């Protein structure tokens, strides 16, 4: 793909004209060498428009793929010793929706040890077929064996689209497998669409959240993407248990340059993604000491504390409490935004909340565009007032 010079059409007069015409000084001309285009070319195509056919822009046609050889939507099951992460169920629900466009089936893949019975649960959330690789050496996540198994499965079953949760496991595994398959990977998608010819439209924020990029890979299969937790809704569970298909684990799949000697469990941490009620603090909170006031309010309504990125950068909160593109995606029943302006990056991580209440002194703050209810005023007056009313029993807090 690029500019092509048709030398038989280049005259001395035209060559000098094009040389003078190029705004980047990338075109040269001499009677001996003829017309040339150098590295400074920005492909503005002005020479194509004004070149009287002497310069054309030609696109290289990418080799196609036989889409009939790749069928179905695969969801990778993220779990810890058989306890399935909710992002898997969310992706199954979305896969079911996407599959309704093409009429193809939804598949799920689970890798681990002693998990066959738990894998049957995936049928209840929308899977048409569930495949299990069960081996004692797959009990703990090791990148090489898991990638070997995942790659082998894709080569055998050939799914058209693959959805992976953007968890620690998914973010490690998906890029490695996609690279082996020489196919693209769109990370942290916030929306997915499907065309009738099985092309997956992968939508994610770009340029700091200022635009939403629509990414497609029509000439490659499979199509690979990771999706954040809480982006899609978990479907309603149905009673439809069936036995999963047990796949063969070969010695080649288990090869690894690493070995797990011991596993030490970390203390269970608070994940704001799981919270049903959240209070999010923003720049409007003037000092770290003032967080005590907001914390008191949060405790009274049974909420967990969260924040925006500037407060993490100020070392007021740990990064695991941040909501937004570079933090967590949340979908609580109630989110109270205290002094949050509503930047695009923040809103992307919380716009799915059932009920958003905003407190901000600026009536034009973007947060009010997504909030269901708002208090326009000084948070240092509103929060103490709410605390007083709750303690006085004059507010009905569920």
End-to-end CA distance of the chain: 62
Q: Give dist(CA 184, CA 302) in Å, integer.
A: 43
CATH number at residue 11: 3.30.70.20
Per-residue pLDDT tens over the stretch 295-328: 999 999 999 999 999 999 999 999 999 999 888 8
Q: pTM above 0.85?
A: no
Q: Give dist(CA 335, CA 354) in Å, integer.
A: 8
My answer on whether 238 and 283 are in the same domain is: no
Per-residue pLDDT tens over the stretch 46-66: 999 988 999 998 876 666 789
My answer on whether 75 and 52 are in the same domain is: no
My answer on whether 52 and 166 are in the same domain is: no
Question: If pLDDT is split at 50, 70 and 90, which confidence band does 242 have?
Answer: confident
Beta bridge partners of 204: 213
Q: Is residue 362, in this structure, part of any structural domain at all?
A: yes
Q: Which domain holds residue 322?
A: 272-391
Final residue in a domain of this structure, among 202, 221, 254: 254
Share above pLDDT 90 across residues of the chain, in percent, rounded to a whole number: 74
My answer on whether 51 and 72 are in the same domain is: no
Q: Give dist(CA 93, CA 127) in Å, integer.
A: 9
My answer on whether 154 and 81 are in the same domain is: yes
Q: Is residue 259, in this structure, part of any structural domain at all?
A: no
My answer on whether 94 and 232 are in the same domain is: yes
CATH number at residue 97: 3.40.50.620
Q: Is residue 264, in this structure, part of any structural domain at all?
A: no
My answer on whether 241 and 278 are in the same domain is: no
Burial of 260 (0-12, 13-18, 19+ CB in 10 A): exposed
Q: Is residue 398, in this structure, part of any structural domain at all?
A: no
My answer on whether 306 and 365 are in the same domain is: yes
My answer on whether 91 and 165 are in the same domain is: yes
Per-residue pLDDT tens over the stretch 324-374: 988 889 999 999 999 999 988 899 889 889 999 999 999 999 999 999 999
Q: What is the count of structural domains for the chain?
A: 3
């Amino acid at each position: 793909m690029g500019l092509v010079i048709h030398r038989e059409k280049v005259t001395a007069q035209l060559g000098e004209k094009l040389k003078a015409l190029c705004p980047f000084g990338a075109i040269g001309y001499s009677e001996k060498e003829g017309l040339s285009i150098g590295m400074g070319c920005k492909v503005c195509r002005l020479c194509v428009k004004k070149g009287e056919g002497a310069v054309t822009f030609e696109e290289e046609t990418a080799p196609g793929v036989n889409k009939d050889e790749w069928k179905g939507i695969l969801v990778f099951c993220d779990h810890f010793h058989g306890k399935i992460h909710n992002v898997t169920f969310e992706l199954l629900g979305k896969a079911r929706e996407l599959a309704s466009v093409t009429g193809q089936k939804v598949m799920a893949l689970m890798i681990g040890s002693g998990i066959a019975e738990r894998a049957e649960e995936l049928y209840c959330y929308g899977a048409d077929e569930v495949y299990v690789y069960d081996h004692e050496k797959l009990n703990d996540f090791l990148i090489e064996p898991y990638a070997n198994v995942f790659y082998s499965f894709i080569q055998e079953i050939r799914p058209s689209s693959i959805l992976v949760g953007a968890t620690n496991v998914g973010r490690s595994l998906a890029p490695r497998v996609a690279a082996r398959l020489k196919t693209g990977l769109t990370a942290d998608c916030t929306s997915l669409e499907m065309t009738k010819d099985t092309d997956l439209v992968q939508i994610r924020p770009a340029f700091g959240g200022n635009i939403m990029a629509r990414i497609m890979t029509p000439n490659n299969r499979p199509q690979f993407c990771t999706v954040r937790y809480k982006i899609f809704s978990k479907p309603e569970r149905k009673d439809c248990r069936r036995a999963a298909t047990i796949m063969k684990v070969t010695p080649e799949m288990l090869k690894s340059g690493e070995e797990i000697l011991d596993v030490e469990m970390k203390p269970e941490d608070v994940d704001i993604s799981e919270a049903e009620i959240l209070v999010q603090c923003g720049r409007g909170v003037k000092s770290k000491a003032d967080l005590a006031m907001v914390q008191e309010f949060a405790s009274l309504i049974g909420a967990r504390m969260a924040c925006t990125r500037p407060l993490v950068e100020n070392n007021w909160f740990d990064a695991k409490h941040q909501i937004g593109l570079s933090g967590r995606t949340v979908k609580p029943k109630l989110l109270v935004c205290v002094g949050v302006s509503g930047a695009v990056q923040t809103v992307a991580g919380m716009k799915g909340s059932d009920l958003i209440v905003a407190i901000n002194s600026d009536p034009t703050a973007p947060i009010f565009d997504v909030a269901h209810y708002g208090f326009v005023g000084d948070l240092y007056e509103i929060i103490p007032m709410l605390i007083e009313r709750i303690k006085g029993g004059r507010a009905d807090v569920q």
